[in-house]
Amino acid sequence: MLSLSLVLTSLAVLAQGQTYSATYTPNNLPKQSQEGQQGTNQCGTGSDQNAMCQNLYINGVDDFCLYGPPKPGPGSDIGTTERYEVAWCMKSGYGTRLIPDGTIQGAHFVQTPDYVQITGTGDLTKLNVLKGDEGGELDPHGADGNGNPIGGLVFSSAFGGGLVQLHEWTNFMSATEFCFRACKDGPKAPGLCNHIYDVMGCDWNMPGNYAAGTFERCLADSSEPMGVYGGSTFQQGNGNTPPAHPAPPSSSCTPVSTISNGLVVSSSAASSSATSSATPTPTPKPSNTTAAKAAATTTTHSGATTSYSSTLFIGGGAMVIAALCAGLMI
């Protein structure tokens, strides 16, 4: 018979949220990394405007990717398509779709000790986002324990040692604004890339420069974790919403005149010299992620404050808990 102490110990380990089921590099990717995935992680090289690649890269102001719907149309709002978004990148070579020139109208890249972040504005309908869509959040912790999109992976070379997977990240997309933060693996990552404030938008979650007409890369201090104010943590939907943290100080900013990859055709154009793996166009599925995320729980104590979403441990963790509890009843 399993002891109660073993169950409690296992629950504590799960609650740390720091153990990941797999770590990949771009050279050892599976075709699909999560069950139910409609795109692929084996994306090849080059670029393809019909690619179903779901890997993002964030390395600089002219080398970053964003998630967007695979097809345009009435159902291409982020809330509807979050389960199967595909990667759109500024740079060729990742086997993804390219962000057409003129889409990004302002971009501001910052590198901090704990994360990299890109913020800006643009005509994101060129990435198939529905015109007028106020947007939504993509992150690795969906309602069923899989990511939004399912199988979405993020890589960066910003912290040295070549391209490495960053397990904690958050990407907000609307028809006119974007923000994307990916956190260096470590104890600060879940807080600095928190994902439970999915209706709060870019400005609140990732304070920074969103000005159109300029493109720059900067060094910056790390921000305060979103939603954490001293010894307490704000819960989305509970009473008055506190103001966003101020954007942290930045320095060593280098402006660039513009960012471009030479693709000037629409997002529905054909392939641009690729060797990528494509998956048939997915069938839209309804999402209940926002409702599930609203059930986030919070632990508050003196000093550090940690917030965990109740959706984080659905899946493998839940199976372990069930198995342990079953053992108690044997």
Number of structural domains found in the chain? 1
131, pLDDT greater than 70: yes
Task: Classify residue 304: in a domain, yes or no.
Answer: no
Task: Classify residue 293: in a domain, yes or no.
Answer: no
Q: Which H or E run contains 318? A: helix 316-329
Task: Classify residue 315: in a domain, yes or no.
Answer: no
Task: Classify residue 180: in a domain, yes or no.
Answer: yes
Domain hosting 141: range is 23-287
pLDDT digits (tens, 9 = 90+) for 175-221: 999 999 999 999 999 999 999 998 899 999 999 999 999 999 999 99
* Per-chain mean pLDDT for the chain: 80
Q: What contacts 58, CB < 8 A, 6 or more positions away?
A: 64, 65, 116, 118, 154, 155, 156, 158, 166, 180, 182
Task: Classify residue 2: in a domain, yes or no.
Answer: no
Q: Determine the pLDDT at residue 172.
A: 98
Q: What is the mean pLDDT of residues 277-282?
A: 39
pLDDT digits (tens, 9 = 90+) for 18-57: 557 679 999 999 999 999 999 999 999 999 999 999 999 9
**DSSP state, residue 219:** E
Token representation of residue 82: 């979050």
141, pLDDT greater than 60: yes
Q: Determine the pLDDT at residue 278.
A: 40
Task: Classify residue 323: in a domain, yes or no.
Answer: no
Task: Classify residue 146: in a domain, yes or no.
Answer: yes
Task: Classify residue 15: in a domain, yes or no.
Answer: no
